[in-house]
Amino acid sequence: MLTQLRSVRFIKHIFWILIITFYGCSTHYRPAENTQVLQARVSQKVSIDLSTTCNDVKLAIYPILDEEMAKTNLGIIPGDFDILPVFLKVENKSRNPIKVDLTSSFVTIDQNQSPYMEIDHALDRIRKNDTQAALAFAMIFGMVGGAVGGAVGGALGAAVDSSTVGSTTVEGHYYRQSFRPTLIPSKDAGSGLVFFDLPKDQLDCDKLTLSIPVIDLNSDGISTAEISFNPKDFKAFKGGKK
């Protein structure tokens, strides 16, 4: 009987150590709470200037090609889902309001164009291949979802609730981090995540060009901003189930 009690206490002790360790790790990998924090993080991984100015509109991009950065803030390895996530910032320094035409934007490698992906499309693709993503989301959004100092049971409950990529918590995070607004007044700015449909094997190239049309809402004139970079200058995707 005494031996059984000692065994139970030992197991409980190990359990609490694991929970505390896991919770500590999850807080270290806490996802960005807003686009400002996300921009600060991803900009640290981009050591070269990936910006251009077109008709007094400045566009800057920060490709999220770093595996740890993507896991931390998106809960996935984008290459596993043939998705290229990019943080985009647009500053309208002109006198006229503009529209950032994301639906017409695309990535070009050689002569191949990969289109912009709506958030719903990206989430749907992840849902269909969410074996790894479910665990990542549970760790990131579930464990840190519990209040600091709260009951461990509550944190674990949050993890269970968020273990599906299609959960409100995860979808809400993606939407909160998505690029907005697409209609930008004069002397204002927009920023956030955008996604492109891009097969992982296409990143093994020397040049990738991101093209984003910008519409002047006063004149209806359209100018396309282009920003090129070499994916090899970044820490490329390590995932790849396909």
Q: What digits encode the pLDDT tens for the residues 67-102?
A: 888 888 888 888 888 999 999 999 999 999 999 999
Q: Which of 234, 104, 123, 125 has the alpha carbon at shortest distance from 177?
A: 123
Section 13-37 average pLDDT:
57
pLDDT of 46 reads 78
Highest averaged pLDDT of the listed ranges 4-8, 144-148, 172-176, 217-221? 217-221
Q: Is the pTM of this model over 0.85?
A: no
Tell me, yes or no, whether 238 lies in a domain. Answer: no
Tell me, yes or no, whether 152 lies in a domain. Answer: no
Q: What digits encode the pLDDT tens for the residues 206-221?
A: 999 999 999 999 999 9
User: pLDDT class for 240, splitting at 50, 70, 90?
Assistant: very low
**Residue 224: which CATH number?**
2.60.40
Tell me, yes or no, whether 157 lies in a domain. Answer: no
Q: What digits encode the pLDDT tens for the residues 163-210?
A: 445 555 677 888 889 999 999 999 999 999 999 999 988 888 899 999
Tell me, yes or no, whether 172 lies in a domain. Answer: yes
pLDDT of 182 reads 97
Q: Which of 51, 69, 70, 49 has the alpha carbon at shortest distance from 60?
A: 51
Q: In this model, does residue 117 exceed pLDDT 80?
A: yes
Q: In sequence order, what are the beta bridge partners of 225? A: 212
Section 229-240 average pLDDT:
67
- For the residues of 171-235, what is the DSSP string, one character each? HHHHHHHB-B-SEE-TTEEEEEEEEEE--GGGGSSS-EEEEEEEEETTT--EEEEEEEE-GGGS-
Tell me, yes or no, whether 108 lies in a domain. Answer: yes
What span, in angstroms and rounded, lies between the C-alpha atoms of 228 and 206?
A: 10
pLDDT of 235 reads 63
Containing structural domain, residue 217: 31-130+165-233
What span, in angstroms and rounded, lies between the C-alpha atoms of 145 and 155?
A: 6
Q: In this model, does residue 151 exceed pLDDT 90?
A: no
Q: Which of 183, 227, 241 has the alpha carbon at shortest distance from 46?
A: 227
pLDDT of 16 reads 45
Tell me, yes or no, whether 155 lies in a domain. Answer: no
Tell me, yes or no, whether 140 lies in a domain. Answer: no
The total domain count for the chain is: 1
Mean pLDDT of the chain, nearest integer = 77
Tell me, yes or no, whether 153 lies in a domain. Answer: no
